[in-house]
Structure 1
Amino acid sequence: MRWLRRVGVTLLVLVLLVVGGSAAYLGWDRLAPVRLDVPRPGFDVDAAGVRTRVEHWPAARPSGRPPVLLVHGFAESTYVWSRVAPLLAADRDVYAYDVRGFGYTDRVPPYDLAADTDQLGGVLAALGLERPVLVGHSSGVAIALSWALRAPGSITGVVAANGDGTPYFGDDRTTPGAGPRWLLVPPVAPAAVTAVVRHRAVVRSVVAAQCGPGCPVDDAAVDRWRAPFLEPAAVDALVDVVRRPLIGLTDAQETTVAVPTAVLYSSDDESFARPQALATAARLRTHLVTELPGARHLALLGEPERFAAALRPQLDALG
């Protein structure tokens, strides 16, 4: 019993030290915040009550083809489209926006699929886009497909790029993916995330691993990733997003999508490789499936020319 009491007291002391240290670190961060002088391109619109940052790349040679609206994934921003969007804008208008909770859009909960879908509809209305093609990347596929179910007549089609639009991981299709959310307790989780985004090393490593050898990982590029997460309340919003169930449609819901669709995947993307891409295409009943051999999850940033070359025929086919 004496030994158990000592262990209990030791654990309690450790917990108090971690919690106290985390709280002190967050207090220091608020007194000495990091603010980065990075480009913040774009403009703001009101999208279903959410101040939303939008970027626009006008068509270099207008062709009358449907415009494209790009929807980024988890922990991303319009920056991930910054290298490929100008290539897609050769003959059509291209737009991208920051999903609620990320980038330079307001952090407005709830962070769930219904609210994200409302925001997407608000962006379409604010920009006055007529039947655009939606291109979702990673978890952004779920938002694009969700809007396709809600208002199919308002869009021309959807491209699912590096994501299947469901809240699952791996081969288990019975339960939504749910990480160890019990670990995300305040102030420990916000302090850990803050420590990561205040420094370049971890961000650089993660981006390089997901992006491949062609990815920009110089200090300026890494700061483009970090800057939105250094905005006031950004870390709290990120932790809140991670605590919630992953956004996504069920397999059954995807089979009811009625708009034309296409699937684009990278062969070396561990989260969405050939088996997942073919299964997604089967649910969406599309034969438009394109592989990027040797590419990774963030091929749109690391290999923009190849990504654009693969995506452009799909856009033309949907249009």
Structure 2
Amino acid sequence: MRRGLRRWARRVGLTLLVLVALVFTVSAAYLGWDRLAPVRLAVPAPGVDVDAAGVRTHVEHWPAGRPSGRAPLVLVHGFAESTYVWSRVAPLLAADRDVYAYDVRGFGFTDRVPPYDLAADTDQLGGVLAALRLERPIVVGHSSGVAIALSLALRAPASVRGVVAANGDGTPYFGADRTDAGGGVRRVLVDPIAPAAVTAVLRHRAPIRAIVAAQCGPGCPTDDAAIDRWRAPFLGPGAVDALVTVLRSPLIGLTDAQQTAITVPTAILFASEDGSFGRPEALATAARLRTDRVVELPGTRHLALLGEPGRFAAALVPEIDALDGR
């Protein structure tokens, strides 16, 4: 009986080893094929490049429709996003003030320059303000971009007039549990499986379309041109390797104690249907930042800024004006 069990266990172990070897071999072969026949999308990247703390950084600018002398806005996107997520709402925000958005290092059309951590991201944001000669702008962060905006407010409070946290709490992890920075996920991102899996997703519109639609809602553009605008930056040379490196890195964010030390005026905006940042998280973030400016967008999702730009702008403008008035 025991001999039979041992024989069965050896067979199972051998089968698993063969399957693992096969997965590694197929993944490596797929990456080799991708290098021979890469997908490249000729998608225009409006804007200019600036040197931001040593990183060639892609920046877009929407000039004020009616210049008023009000503080400019600087928009910071979140993980796996780019300036594209602001493309529909930025013109609305630029009615009476200049609006700028930039691609965070490792994403969009900015250079892939490690390290991909909060300190380097904060350096880059400070470098963007210096390169554009912006004096005390209001910074609006979306999702993980909230951490970058708040980090600069903590490091150099005199450099910003205020911060709006949109759909993100600025910590490494949403919610109350802050004990795991994603180590379990990082452990399974091994070469060549992780790069092959990411490449396979990016080569096709369908999975990107499904992800965007789920996070954005029915108002989001999901035609081929829009999906290609999402994919194009990630299909450039070295982009997949950079994305995998970011995924393997600890999630960026401030500690609760660091957030309570921020003295710059802040406001919170959240979408009621956002599974990662809802009312409890928004109220907890507001308590740490000692702000009573909390605005809910009913019936919207994480990418409301792209899916429902009119509603997003209507909710955001009063908060910006209030921060500007202070």
Instruction: Give 2:86's aligned residue.
Output: 81
Counterpart selection for 1:246 from 238, 248, 251? 251
Judge conservation of contact 1:165–1:249 (CA < 8 Å) in 2.
Answer: yes
Question: What are the within-5 Å matches in structure 2 for residues 91-170 of structure 1?
Answer: 91-170=96-175
Deviation at 1:179, TM superposition (A): 4.3
Runs of 4+ with >4 A deviation:
none
Give, in whole Å, the separation in 2 of the partners of 1:129 and 1:116. 18
Judge conservation of contact 1:80–1:301 (CA < 8 Å) in 2.
Answer: yes
Question: What are the within-5 Å matches in structure 2 for residues 12-23 of structure 1?
Answer: 12-23=17-28
Does structure 1 residue 296 correspond to structure 2 residue 304?
A: no
Amino acid at match of 1:116: D
Amino acid at match of 2:175: G
Deviation at 1:12, TM superposition (A): 1.3
Deviation at 1:10, TM superposition (A): 1.2
TM-score when normalising by structure 1 = 0.98
Does structure 1 residue 315 correspond to structure 2 residue 320?
A: yes
Does structure 1 residue 43 correspond to structure 2 residue 48?
A: yes
> Highest CA radius of gyration, 1 or 2?
2
Which secondary structure does the structure 2 equivalent of 1:109 belong to?
Answer: coil
Amino acid at match of 1:93: D
Does structure 1 residue 274 correspond to structure 2 residue 293?
A: no
Instruction: Give 1:219's aligned residue.
Output: 224
Judge conservation of contact 1:169–1:177 (CA < 8 Å) in 2.
Answer: no
Deviation at 1:171, TM superposition (A): 3.0
Give, in whole Å, the separation in 2 of the partners of 1:248 and 1:177. 12
Deviation at 1:279, TM superposition (A): 0.7
Deviation at 1:82, TM superposition (A): 0.2
Judge conservation of contact 1:167–1:177 (CA < 8 Å) in 2.
Answer: no
Give, in whole Å, the separation in 2 of the partners of 1:159 and 1:15. 46
Instruction: Give 1:283's aligned residue.
Output: 288
Deviation at 1:212, TM superposition (A): 0.6
Give, in whole Å, the separation in 2 of the partners of 1:317 and 1:278. 19
Give, in whole Å, the separation in 1 of the partners of 2:181 and 2:248. 13
Q: 1:82 to 1:179 in 2, by over 3 A?
A: farther
Q: Show structure 1 runs of 5+ residues with no match.
A: none
Give, in whole Å, the separation in 2 of the partners of 1:169 and 1:318. 25
Q: Show structure 2 runs of 5+ residues with no match.
A: 1-5
Give, in whole Å, the separation in 1 of the partners of 2:184 and 2:7. 36
- CA deviations over 1:246-276 (Å, ceiling 9, x no partner): 1000111100100000000001101011111
- CA deviations over 1:18-39 (Å, ceiling 9, x no partner): 1111011001101101111222
Which secondary structure does the structure 1 equivalent of 2:124 belong to?
Answer: helix
Give, in whole Å, the separation in 2 of the partners of 1:219 and 1:238. 22
Amino acid at match of 1:256: A
Give, in whole Å, the separation in 2 of the partners of 1:308 and 1:12. 54
Deviation at 1:5, TM superposition (A): 2.0
Counterpart selection for 2:209 from 204, 212, 231? 204
Deviation at 1:177, TM superposition (A): 4.3
- Over the residues paired in the alignment, what is the CA RMSD in angstroms? 0.9
Across the two proteins, how many residue pairs are aligned to each other? 319
Counterpart selection for 1:176 from 178, 181, 185? 181
Judge conservation of contact 1:164–1:280 (CA < 8 Å) in 2.
Answer: yes
